[in-house]
Structure 1
Amino acid sequence: MARYGPTVRILPFTDDNQLVSTTGIFVDKPRNRILTAIGDLAGNSRRTTLATQYKLAALASYDRTTGKRLSYVDLGKLRPGASHFANDPAVDQQGNVYVTDSFAPIIYKIDPQGTASVFLEDSRLAAPAGSFGLNGIVFHPGGYLLVGKYDEGVLYKVPLTSLGQFTRVGSGSVFTSADGLFLADDNTLLIAANGKTNTVFWVRTVDGWATAKAAGAFPTGDVFPSAIARTGADVYVLESHVNALLGGQNPPVARFGIRRGNF
């Protein structure tokens, strides 16, 4: 992992052999830690192995100041023998971490003591073999999660209680190929949609995320936007070019960008 320095330089943060492929990253400021989900798409990491390809779901935690690893949790072992790909973490007010699995219809939970469990498992969240299902996830202070399902273009509201009662917030063009999510305020969600969409949408609700509608859009061009972050009043979008990586583009993409969004 790397950090983007104040002088517009990319600075190393940590180089951990457990990081086969870093996927979603969450900065947990109250606990001074950085969380990253870890997966393995075969052939796209110098640390890939036959044992981890399409089977790895893990969460690592690092000290935000020093980069020292605090913990590593193997999530895939909760459902051995299945395909796995940990995609994105979110943290609630008590410090519980929730992680989506793109290759299994599962959201994991890791409590503050580091104990992992299957928080939600439901066949309605499954994706076809080889397709990305559950993807971006954010915690809402109202006591629920907002979770994107990439293959169907659907956003779900998942309560932290009454799990079987998760509901569909919306579907359609705004949520098609929805990847990274960022909760700008209680009623506004930013969505990095890639694939053929290549647009960052901002979506608003007036009914506590029972429904939502697009309030604006920012086309990014063919850069496969995959993550959104904010520092101060500035919002940034990662130009990941993951499509070129997975497609075996030759020569590979040489330059990647972090773009300040027009929101």
Structure 2
Amino acid sequence: MENRYGAVAAYDLSSWHRFFLTQLSGPSGEKSFADDVAVDAAGNAYVIDAKGSKIWKVGVNGEFLSIIRSPLFTPKEWYKNLVTSLNGIVYHPDGFLIVIHPFSGNLYKIDI
């Protein structure tokens, strides 16, 4: 049995020193797929789970902070079983996230 998980890491690009490696999902049986990431002005990272239809929030020191979920993130059409539910995330300087669901074309504004 494979032991795969989704994670996010932060590195110093001049020395390749790793600041942290934070596991986001594990072998609990829940299907997940860590994909895109955005960073806010405070340094928090937001990582899309393209299979689990959620967004993980990780703090500047690698601490797991929260999960952002919404029923709107879960597709109900024919493509609901594909890997990609959410894909593409950006932090807007006015303090919110913009996320897209590529198959439906829905664009979400998420206040953080």
2:109 pairs with 1:157: yes
Question: Which residue, out of 65, 73, 96, partners 2:14?
Answer: 65
* Structure 2 residue aligned with 1:118: 66
- Choose between structure 1 and 2: higher strand proportion: 1
Tell me, which stretches of 5 or more residues in structure 2 are unaligned? none
Pick the aligned partner of 1:93 from 22, 41, 44.
41
CA distances 1:202-242 after superposition (whole Å, capped 9, x unpaired) = xxxxxxxxxxxxxxxxxxxxxxxxxxxxxxxxxxxxxxxxx
Between the aligned partners of 2:106 and 2:37, the Cα distance in structure 1 is 18
Determine the C-alpha separation between the residues in 2 that align with 1:151 and 1:51. 29
Task: State the alpha-carbon separation in 2 of the partners of residues 98 and 84 from structure 1.
Answer: 15
TM-score by length of 1: 0.38
Question: Residues 136 and 108 of structure 1: is their aligned pair in 2 closer, same or farther, counting only changes over 3 Å?
Answer: same
Q: Deviations over 1:154-195 (max 9, x none)?
A: 2111111xxxxxxxxxxxxxxxxxxxxxxxxxxxxxxxxxxx
Structure 1 gaps, min length 5 = 1-48, 161-263
Counterparts of 1:175-190 in structure 2 under 5 Å? none
Is 1:75 the counterpart of 2:36? The answer is no
Aligned residues: 108
Matches within 5 A, 1:133-172: 133-160=85-112
Structure 2 counterparts to residues 15-54 of structure 1, below 5 A: 50-52=2-4
CA RMSD of aligned residues (A): 1.9
Deviation at 1:64, TM superposition (A): 1.4
Kept in 1, the 8 Å contact 2:20–2:61? The answer is no
- Asked whether the equivalents of residues 106 and 118 of structure 1 are also in contact (C-alpha less than 8 Å), the reply is no
Higher-Rg member (1/2): 1
The SS at the match of 2:87 is strand
- What is the correspondence of 1:220-235 to structure 2 with a 5 Å cutoff? none
Q: Is the 8 A contact 1:87 1:135 kept in 2?
A: yes
Map 1:173-212; keep pairs closer than 5 Å: none
Normalising by structure 2, we get a TM-score of 0.85
Higher relative contact order (CA 8 A, sep 6+): 2
Q: Show structure 1 runs of 4+ deviating over 6 A.
A: none
Residue aligned with 1:124, SS:
helix
Cα distance in 2 between the residues matched to 1:51 and 1:103: 17
CA distance in 2, matches of 1:111, 1:131: 26
Structure 1 residues 131 and 151, CA gap change in structure 2 (3 angstroms): farther
Question: Residue 105 of structure 1 contacts residue 124 of structure 1 at CA under 8 Å; is this kept in 2?
Answer: no
Return the offset for 1:140. Answer: 0.4
- 1:178 corresponding residue in structure 2: none
